[in-house]
C-alpha cells in the first residue's frame, strides 16, 4: 500500500516538474498539481463499505433500483470514516438521481457492475437540466471500479431534431455529471450510449479523469465524450473516445486543462468551444492537448467561436498529434454558426490568441488541411506552427487557408499557410 501511494506521488510530481511549456510564446501556465489529499485519505483506515444490495437493490436489469442507490449514498456520505459505495457485478436500472454533498469523509464509489438508464423519457420530466447521474458539491470523491455506465440513449437519438427534422429541438440528459466537485478522481470506467453528453465536469476544480472508455455510435447526435465547463485544473489522460460529436469539448470558464494520451474516433475531434453564443462573454485559457491520435474524425483540433461574442480563447497548445483520415485537421472558426438559417454579421468576436501547433502529422480526408477563418475586427493573434505536416489521404495536394490570422512564427509547415 505504501508503495502504491509513492507511485501516485511520483506520477503527479512528474506532471508538474517538466520543462516550462510554451517557452516559444513566453507563456507561464502556472499549472498547480492536483491535491493528493483525497487519495491519501482513501488509503487511510478504517473504511466502511455500503453496498447498494444491502439497501434492497435487485440488480436484475429490470427492477428500479434508484431508491436503494439513494439510501446507500446517504449512508456513505454521512459516514464519519472513509466510505466505499459498492456497486457489485450485476446490472442495475436507474432513473435520474443526484448524489449530493457535502459528505463527512472521503467517498469511493466502486462501480464493478453495470448501471443502466431508464429508457422512459417521462422519468426525466421533473429533472432540472435533464441530468441522469449527477454528483453535486462533493469534495474528495473517487469514482472508479472497471464497470459500465450505460445511458441507454437510443430512444433519445431517435427523437432528436438532428435525426428527424419534423421534431422540435429539446435537450436530452447528460449521462454522468459532476457539478461543483473538488479534488475529484474519475477513472477506469466504461461509459456508453449516452442520451446526450457522456461525462460533464461543471464548476469543478482539481480533477483527474483517466482510463475512461467512452463510446456511442457515430450517428448519435450531440453525444460529446467529455465536456468541460467552468472547471479549473483538470487533467484528462489515457482515454479512448468514440462518439457522434466532440470527443472532448472545452467551453467557457475553463482554465488549466490538460488532455494527454487521448485516442479519438469516430467523432468531431477535440474542440475549444463553441464560445460566445448569443452575444455572451466567454473565456478559456491555458489548455494543453498533447499526445493525441485522431482516427477518421470530422474535425481534428478546433477552436470555434460565434460572431457577436466577447472574451478570449488564449494560451492554447496542440502538440504531438497524429491524424489518420481526418476531414478538417486544423481549424479556427470565428464565424461558427450551428443554425439552419444564416447567422447575422456581427462586429464583435471572442479574441483568439497565443495558439501553438507543434509536431502534428498525418493525413486529411478532405483538401482542407488547415483552415484559419478569423474575424476581421478581432483577428487571431500570435499563431505559431512548428513541424506541422499534413498530406491528403489520396496523395494529392492538401490546401491551407488563413484569413485574418497573425503569425508570430512558423517552421516546417505543409501545406504552407499564407496569411490573408
Q: Which residues are catalytic?
A: 245, 268
- How many CB atoms sit inside 10 A of residue 10's CB? 9
For residue 80, report the phi and psi dihedrals to the nearest 5 degrees: -85, -10
**What distance lies between CA 135 and its chain's CA centroid?**
16
DSSP codes, 358-402: EEEEEEESSSEEEEEE--SSS-EEEEEEEEEEEEETTSS--EEEE
DSSP state of 419: B
**What distance lies between CA 151 and its chain's CA centroid?**
17
User: Cβ distance 173 to 126 under 8 Å?
Assistant: no
Distance CA 228, CA 222 (A): 14
Distance CA 230, CA 203 (A): 5
Cell digits for 89? 457485478
DSSP state of 307: B
Contacts (Cβ under 8 Å, ≥6 apart) of 246: 224, 225, 227, 267, 268, 269, 270, 271
Distance CA 361, CA 184 (A): 34
User: Cβ distance 420 to 396 under 8 Å?
Assistant: no
User: Cβ distance 360 to 388 under 8 Å?
Assistant: yes
Nearest Cα neighbor of 298 from 226, 246, 254, 255 is 246
For residue 203, report the phi and psi dihedrals to the nearest 5 degrees: 55, 40
- Reported residue count of the chain is 420
Amino acid at each position: 500500500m505504501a508503495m502504491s501511494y509513492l507511485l501516485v506521488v511520483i506520477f503527479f510530481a512528474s506532471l508538474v516538474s517538466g520543462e516550462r511549456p510554451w517557452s516559444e510564446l513566453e507563456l507561464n501556465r502556472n499549472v498547480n498539481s492536483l491535491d493528493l489529499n483525497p487519495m491519501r485519505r482513501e488509503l487511510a483506515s478504517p473504511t466502511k463499505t455500503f453496498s447498494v444490495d444491502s439497501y434492497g437493490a435487485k440488480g436484475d436489469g429490470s427492477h428500479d433500483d434508484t431508491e436503494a442507490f439513494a439510501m446507500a449514498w446517504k449512508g456513505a456520505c454521512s459516514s464519519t470514516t472513509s466510505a466505499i459505495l459498492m456497486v457489485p457485478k450485476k446490472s442495475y436500472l436507474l432513473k435520474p438521481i443526484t448524489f449530493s454533498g457535502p459528505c463527512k469523509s472521503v467517498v469511493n464509489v466502486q462501480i464493478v457492475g453495470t448501471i443502466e438508464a431508464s429508457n422512459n423519457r417521462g422519468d426525466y420530466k421533473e429533472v432540472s437540466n435533464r441530468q441522469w447521474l449527477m454528483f453535486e458539491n462533493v469534495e474528495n470523491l473517487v469514482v472508479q471500479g472497471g464497470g459500465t455506465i450505460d445511458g441507454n440513449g437510443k430512444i433519445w437519438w431517435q427523437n432528436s431534431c438532428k435525426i428527424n427534422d419534423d421534431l422540435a429541438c429539446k435537450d436530452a440528459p447528460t449521462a454522468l455529471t459532476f457539478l461543483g466537485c473538488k479534488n475529484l478522481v474519475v477513472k477506469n470506467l466504461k461509459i456508453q450510449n449516452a442520451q446526450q453528453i457522456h461525462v460533464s465536469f461543471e464548476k469543478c476544480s482539481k480533477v483527474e479523469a483517466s482510463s475512461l472508455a467512452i463510446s456511442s455510435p457515430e450517428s448519435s447526435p450531440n453525444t460529446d465524450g467529455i465536456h468541460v465547463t467552468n472547471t479549473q485544473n483538470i487533467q484528462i489522460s489515457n482515454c479512448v473516445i468514440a462518439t457522434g460529436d466532440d470527443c472532448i469539448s472545452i467551453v467557457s470558464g475553463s482554465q488549466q486543462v490538460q488532455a494527454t494520451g487521448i485516442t479519438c474516433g469516430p467523432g468531431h475531434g477535440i474542440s475549444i468551444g463553441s464560445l460566445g453564443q448569443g452575444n455572451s462573454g466567454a473565456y478559456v485559457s491555458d489548455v494543453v492537448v498533447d499526445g493525441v491520435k485522431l482516427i477518421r474524425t470530422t474535425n481534428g483540433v478546433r477552436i470555434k467561436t460565434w460572431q457577436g461574442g466577447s472574451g478570449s480563447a488564449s494560451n492554447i497548445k496542440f502538440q504531438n498529434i497524429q491524424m489518420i483520415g481526418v476531414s478538417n485537421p486544423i481549424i479556427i472558426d470565428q464565424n461558427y454558426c450551428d443554425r439552419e438559417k444564416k447567422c447575422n454579421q456581427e462586429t464583435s468576436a471572442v479574441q483568439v490568441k497565443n495558439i501553438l501547433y507543434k509536431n502534428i502529422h498525418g493525413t486529411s480526408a478532405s483538401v482542407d488541411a488547415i483552415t484559419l477563418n478569423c474575424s476581421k475586427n478581432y483577428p487571431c493573434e500570435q499563431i505559431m506552427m512548428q513541424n506541422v505536416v499534413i498530406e491528403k489521404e489520396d496523395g494529392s495536394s492538401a490546401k491551407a487557408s488563413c484569413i485574418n490570422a497573425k503569425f508570430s512564427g512558423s517552421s516546417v509547415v505543409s501545406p504552407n499557410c499564407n496569411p490573408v
